[in-house]
Structure formats: structure tokens, C-alpha cells
Amino acid sequence: PGADPLAFHHARAAVLAVRLGQITGQAGGDLLQLGLAACLFDTGLAAPTERVLRDGEASEDDTAYRQHPQRSVDTVRGWRPPAAGILTAILQHHEREQGQGYPRGLRGDTVHPHAKIIGLVDTYLRLMGPREPHRAICQIVRRRHETFPAPLVKALVDEVSVFPPGTVIRLNTGEVGTVVAVSRNHPLRPKVELTTDARGRPVPPRVVDLREAPFLCITGPV
């Protein structure tokens, strides 16, 4: 409560970006540069004059919004970052795999690998909102190859699961609960905290590990 939403977004993005970097084989100085870029990529939205953009009232088609990667670079450059790749990743984090991004419409291998990771993490967190992690994953998976490379999307799915923590789900028994923990090796069988019985009546919360309950399965998000 009371935390700056942009700082909170940067913090969450940095943690997930570094994790994806590790999964995709990065280490040492490369991982440090990725983490720094992920902490700073939307700095251009921090000024009070950018409140409307920051609060999500501007769309990706707005010219002012599309200028924020360059504004971020201009700000971070003044802080003398330790590697030029940090600025490149910040500038390119809205570029997309088929050239439909901005500011330059780059595609494929011409986009910095760190920019791809930050762009994917940023997209996931913004789509997720407070209560729809499953929908965010589904949207990203449907558009794989088009917006982000498939191996990177797979790394994200492996990390956060098809049903990320916070997803409200229904079991085949009709019971309803919330995903509280996931397993990378069993993405469809997370731990869930059940709070509603098959008739929709509230029940004392109880946690069930679906890996240990072979006759239970998730039928879908609620």
C-alpha cells in the first residue's frame, strides 16, 4: 500500500526477467546487465507529466506513449550505466519479433536478447493485472512466434505455470479455490487453496497438492 506503481512494476519485472535470463542460459555480467535494464526500462514514464501514461489511460498507439523508450534511454544515459547494452535493451523493449513494435520496427535477431526478455515480462505483468494471470499467459501463448520467440515464451510458461499463483480455478469436483504454488515439472498440477465446495458454499480453507491427488484436476479458471 502506498508504493509507487511504476517502481513496483519495475521490481516485479526485474525479478522475473533475471529468472528468465537464468533459464535461457545467461550468467555473470550478462545477467547483471539484464537485471539493471529491467529495473530501469520504463524510467521515461516516471515524470509527473507522464501520469496519464503511467496510469494506463494511454494506448500503445499514442505518439506520446511510444516516445517513452527514448525518454527512458535519455534519462538512464545521464546516470552513466556500466554497459551500452543496458541502453539498447531499454530502447528496444517494445520491439517485437515480426517487426510490429517500436520505435524502429526491428525484427528477429536484430532485437537485443535482453529487450526481448524485458518486453515479454512487461507484457505479461501488464496483461495479468491483479486477478487474471491465466488469461495473460493464454494471450501470450496464442501469439507466440508473432510477438516473442517461442523458446522464450516456453521459459515464461515453465516459470509461472499455465495457472500462475493467484489464479482462481475450478476442479473437476466443482470445488473452487486459488492457486498458491506451482511446480515446474507439473505445470497443470499446482497447489490450490480450496475455499468453496461443489455447491458454491464457503468452506474452511484447505490446501491440496494436485500432484498428490491423482483423481483431481483443474477444469479451468473461474
The pLDDT tens digits for 94-119 are 999 999 999 999 999 999 999 999 99
Question: What would the DSSP string read from start to end of 40-57?
Answer: HTTGGG-SGGGHHHHTT-
pLDDT range class, residue 1, cuts 50, 70, 90: very low
The pLDDT tens digits for 77-94 are 999 999 999 999 999 999
pLDDT of res. 169: 92
Phi and psi for 82 in degrees, rounded to 5? -70, -10
Report helix, strand or coil for 204.
strand
pLDDT of res. 185: 79
pLDDT range class, residue 60, cuts 50, 70, 90: low
HEC string of 140-164?
Answer: HHHCCCCCCCHHHHHHHHHHHCCCC
pTM: 0.80
- Around Cβ 8, how many Cβ atoms within 10 Å? 11
Q: Is residue 18 over pLDDT 70?
A: yes
